[in-house]
Amino acid sequence: MKELPNPTFALSPVYFPRGSLHPGPANPNVDFLPRRVQSTIQVAWAKHQDEVREAQQLRYSVFATEMGARLPKTLPGHDIDLFDDYCEHLLVRDTLRGQVIGTYRVLTPAQAKRAGSTYSDTEFDLTRLRDLRKRMVELGRSCVHAEHRHGGVIMALWGALFEFMDRNRLDTMIGCASIPMLHNGVVTGDAAASIWHQLRETHLANIQYHVRPRLPLPVDELGHGVQIDPPALIKGYLRLGAKVLGAPAWDPDFNTADLPMMMRTADLPARYRRHFSMGVP
């Protein structure tokens, strides 16, 4: 069993309800801030290689089996890429079954230097973020098991992420937020183009932080009149104060449109700062 470095102190069990992360038409404004109640989920950082393998198995199940992504066949049934060995892996576990049901991976500034780049660098020209890199982490490969897609799991992950940022005096998170190209049973970029045109009007970052996609989704050639909400995870990021850094890239392996996004701890709304025990300035 390979021992991994622990990026932070041991995390306490997190107690959240099974609220809906994917609101239906009857409740389109569901809040991502649930009340604390007893639950059966625990969040912790992977300490051993076999725990990382559990996260990679979950990722394979979601990305390859559900979404049809084309993944390298490094190890059957696992999603593995060259950044995994440099990342910290955050896990949410169902304590009743002992099963990993949610995960993020986190690439710290020091490890990004060792890796030579972030994953986002492979999709975008991040030149304008160079002054942020010393205190910037990359979030990636986020996914939740199909039977557990409720507010409690994602809030548990976010709570641990913000605790990590606070303890390590980091202030910026970046990552690629994916929009599926499949819409109403048809593979099309119209939905992604429509979401981009919505968000560029309401949540676009200051021009000093704009980035350019290396393989752009041709948003100007696609229809952008589709009435569609952003995916639930992107809506959650926006509630946390995240900004979109530019137009989406096309990821042919995952067949998604990837939006570059940035969250800064200073922009976290006060109610979430209190919830994550970060204090309110």
Q: How far apart are CA 84 and CA 103, in angstroms?
A: 13
Check whether 32 has a pLDDT greater than 60.
no
280 located within any domain: no
140 assigned to some structural domain = yes
Which is nearest to 85 in space by CA: 107, 57, 103? 107
Q: Round to the nearest angstrom and report the end-to-end CA distance of the chain.
A: 43
How many other CB atoms are found less than 10 A from the CB of residue 37? Answer: 11
208-249 residue pLDDT tens: 999 999 999 999 999 888 888 999 889 999 999 999 999 999
How far are the Cα atoms of 91, 236, 241 from residue 59, in angstroms, in the given order? 12, 20, 26
Does residue 271 belong to any structural domain of this protein? yes
Q: Is the pLDDT of residue 196 over 50?
A: yes
Give the CATH number of the domain where residue 75 resides: 3.40.630.30
User: Of the given ranges (28-37, 54-63, 193-202, 219-228), which has the lowest mean pLDDT?
Assistant: 28-37
Q: Which DSSP letter does residue 117 get?
A: S
Whose CA is closest to 248, among 220, 225, 229, 223?
220
Average pLDDT over residues 154-182: 92
pLDDT at 6: 42
How would residue 278 be classed by pLDDT, with cut points 50, 70 and 90? low
pLDDT, mean of residues 78-85? 95
Domain annotation covers residue 56:
yes
Mean per-residue pLDDT, 139-162: 89
Half-sphere exposure of 261 (CA within 13 A, CB side): 25
- Based on the structure, what is the number of domains in the chain? 1
* CB neighbour class for 11 (10 Å; exposed up to 12, middle 13-18, buried from 19): middle
**What percentage of the chain reaches a pLDDT higher than 90?**
64
What does the alpha-carbon distance between residue 7 and residue 106 come to, in Å, rounded to a whole number?
Answer: 10
Dist CA 60 CA 75 (whole Å): 10
Rounded to an integer, what distance in angstroms lies between the CA atom of residue 97 and that of residue 269?
Answer: 34
If one compares 54 and 146, the residue with the highest pLDDT of the two is 54
Look at residue 4 and tell me if it is in a domain. Answer: no
Who's near 127: CB < 8 A, 6+ residues apart? Answer: 211
Residue 270: is its pLDDT beyond 70? yes
Report helix, strand or coil for 49: helix
Rounded CA Rg of the chain: 18
**Would you say residue 99 lies in a domain?**
yes
Confidence of residue 20 (pLDDT cuts 50, 70, 90): very low
Q: Please indicate, yes or no, if residue 240 is contained in any of the structural domains.
A: yes
The parent domain of residue 101 ranges over 41-275
Q: List phi, psi (to 5°) of 125.
A: -85, 110
Residue 1 pLDDT > 50, yes or no? no
| CB neighbourhood size of 131 (10 A) | 10
User: What pTM was computed for the model?
Assistant: 0.84
Range in 128-132, 142-146, 199-203, 257-261 the model is least confident about: 142-146
Whether residue 14 is contained in a domain is answered as no
